[in-house]
Structure 1
Amino acid sequence: MAMAAVVLCWAYSPIGIHIGLESYSPGHLALLRFLIASLFMALIALFIGIGVPRLRDVPWLMLLGLFAVALHHMALNMGQRWVSPGASSVLAQTAPLFSTFIAAVCLKERVSGWRWLWVAVGLLGVVVVIWGDKGVGEFHPQGLVLLLAALSWSIYFVLQKHISTRYSPLTIVCYMVWGGTLLLCVYWPGLTDEVLKAPVRVNVAVLILGLFPSALAYLLWGFVLNHTQVSRSVSVMYLIPPVAMALAAGVLGSEVSAGVIAGAAIVLGSVIAMSREPQSRR
C-alpha cells in the first residue's frame, strides 16, 4: 500500500505542475509548493522528533536541498511549459542514465560496455519522447531542461549516500525540504499577489502538490526502503510514467501520442536493462 501511494503521489506531480503553471510562474510555483511541504514536515517533526544536524553536515544538507528540491523542481517547472505531463514523467525517470555518467566521470568507477550501450539507447528514447510529444515541427529545445531535473536528481542520490548513515531518513528529508525551500525564497517577491489572483481550482491543485508528492511521498518512500529490498523498491518507480499518463488523460483530458509511448518504452526498457546487467559483465 505504501508503494502504491508513492507511485500515485509522484505520478500526480506533473499533472499538478501543469495546472499550477496556469496561474504561477515556475519560481513561484516551486516556492509555494515547498512552503506547504515545509509546514507539513515541521508538524511531523514536532510530533515525532528529529535529530539536530552537526555543524559540519549543514553544507551537505543544503546541497541536498539544492539538488533534490530547488534545482530539480525549478527545472521540472520550466521544462513542463514545453512538454505534456506524460512526456515530463518519462523524462524525469532518466536519472539512472545520468548516474552512469556521474559514476564514470566524477567517482572514477569502471562502467561496463553493457551500461554504456543502454545509456545510448535511453538517450535515443529521450529524443523520441520529445519529438513524439509535439511533433518534429513543434519541437521545443526548452523541453530538454527536464533532463537537468533528472541530472540534479542523480547528483542528489550520490550526495545522500555521504550522509545517510549519520541521520534517520525523516531527519534527512526534513532538513532537505527546509534547505531547498530556503533557497527558493529568492522567488518570494510577488508570490502573495499570484496566490490571491489564482483560481481556487489552481490553488487546490498546488496544495495537493505540496502535501502529497512533496512531503508525504518522501516519508512513505523512506518507510518502503526500510521494509523492502532496494532493488524491489526502485523497480516500482517504473510504474510512475504509465500511471501519470493515465492520470493526465483522466484529469486533464490530454491524449498521449504513439511517439511518447514508444519513447517511454525505449527509456524505461534501457533503465531496466541497466539494472539487470549480467554478473559476467560487471
Structure 2
Amino acid sequence: MAAVVLCWAYSPIGIHIGLESYTPGHLALLRFLIASAFMAVIALFAGIGLPRLRDVPWLMLLGFFAVVLHHVVLNMGQRWVSPGASSVLAQTAPLFSTLIAAFFLKESVSRWRWLWVAVGLVGVVLVIWADKGVGEFRPQGLLLLVAALSWSIYFALQKHYGNRYSPLTIVCYMVWAGTLMLCAYWPGLVDEVRNAPARVNWAILLLGLFPSALAYLLWAYVLAHTEVSRSVGVMYLIPPVAMVMAAVVLGSPVSAGVVVGAAIVVGSVIVMSRLKG
C-alpha cells in the first residue's frame, strides 16, 4: 500500500509537467504506450496466459474505466487546478467505492466507517479551500470527480472478477486494452513528442513506468487480499503525500489550511484502518 501511495502521489505532478506540452488525450496515450511496453517486458519473463474469450468484454471494461475515461478526464480537469487539489479531488473515490461495496458487492459497511468517510471528506473540502480559495476554483476542475467515479467502478469490477486471473494477467490485459482504445488520439502525437522539452518527456516516462504500470500491479495485489471498502481508505493518504512532493519538485507552497486538512484526512484513515466492520 505504501508503494502504491508513493507511485500515485507522483501522478498529479507528472501530469502537471506533461500538460505544459501535451494535450490531455496525447498525454494519456503516451503515458500508457510506455506502460504497455513495460508490462510487455514483465509478461515476457513472467509468462501469462491468454484470456478466455468470454472475459474479453470484462477486460475491455477494465481498460475503459481504469485507463481511458479516468486518465483523459483527469488530464482535462487538472488544467484548472493545482497538483495538490487534483490529488484531493481524484481521491474522492473512497466515497463512491464504499457505495459500490455496500450496494453492489454486498459488503458490510458499518455506520462508524460511513462516519469516518464523511470526516475524511471534510478534510478534503478544507484542503481544496486552502489550496487556491473558493473564489478562484474553476468548475472544470470538478471533472476530477468523474475520474474518481470511473476509478471506483474499476475497483469494483476488478474485485468482483479478480479471482479468475492472477494480478499480473489482469493488469497486463487491462493496460493493453486501455492503450488500444487510447490510440484514437494517435494523430499529432509524434509531433508533440518531437517538440516537447526533454524535461517534460522525462516526467511522462516516469508517469508511464510508476503510476501507470507498477502501481496498477501492486494495487491488484492489494485488492486481492482486502475488502474494497477497507483498502480504498488508504487512498486518502495520496493527497498529503502529493502535496509534499509538489512542494519539493514544483515549488508549490503548502498553506496552514492544507496542513490542517491533510491532518484530518490522515486521521480518518487511521481510524478507518482500525475499524472491524
The TM tier, using the shorter chain, reads 0.7 to 0.9
Match of 1:199 in 2: 197
State yes or no: 1:254 paired with 2:252: yes
| Aligned partner of residue 163 in structure 2, secondary structure | coil
State yes or no: 1:50 paired with 2:30: no
Match of 2:174 in 1: 176
| Structure 1 letter corresponding to 2:76 | M
Give the gaps of 5 or more residues in structure 1: none
Residue 147 of structure 2: which of 128, 146, 149 is its match? 149
- Partners of 1:9 and 1:111 lie apart in 2 by 28
Q: Structure 1 pair 274/62, CA: closer, same or farther in 2 (3 Å)? A: same
Q: Structure 1 pair 225/151, CA: closer, same or farther in 2 (3 Å)? A: closer
Q: CA deviation at 1:83?
A: 1.8
Q: Structure 1 pair 218/75, CA: closer, same or farther in 2 (3 Å)? A: same
Give the gaps of 5 or more residues in structure 2: none
| Structure 2 letter corresponding to 1:208 | L
Map 1:7-46 → 2, pairs under 5 A: 7-46=5-44
Q: Return the TM-score normalized by structure 2.
A: 0.87
Q: CA deviation at 1:60?
A: 0.6
Matched positions, count: 275
Q: CA deviation at 1:201?
A: 0.7
Q: CA deviation at 1:131?
A: 2.1
Q: CA deviation at 1:250?
A: 1.2
State yes or no: 1:211 paired with 2:209: yes
Q: Structure 1 pair 183/261, CA: closer, same or farther in 2 (3 Å)? A: farther
**1:66-111 deviation per Cα after TM superposition (whole angstroms, max 9, x unaligned):** 1111111122212211222122223333222111222345456675
| Aligned partner of residue 24 in structure 1, secondary structure | coil
Residue 265 of structure 1: which of 257, 263, 266 is its match? 263
Q: Return the TM-score normalized by structure 1.
A: 0.86
Q: CA deviation at 1:33?
A: 0.1
| Aligned partner of residue 15 in structure 2, secondary structure | helix
Q: CA deviation at 1:118?
A: 3.4
% identical aligned pairs: 81
Alpha carbons 1:97, 1:271 under 8 Å: kept: no
**1:221-280 deviation per Cα after TM superposition (whole angstroms, max 9, x unaligned):** 456678xx6489767655433332222111111112233333333344445444544x5x
Q: CA deviation at 1:161?
A: 1.9
Q: CA deviation at 1:218?
A: 2.6
Alpha carbons 1:71, 1:149 under 8 Å: kept: yes
- Partners of 2:204 and 2:58 lie apart in 1 by 28
| Structure 2 letter corresponding to 1:121 | V
| Structure 1 letter corresponding to 2:116 | W
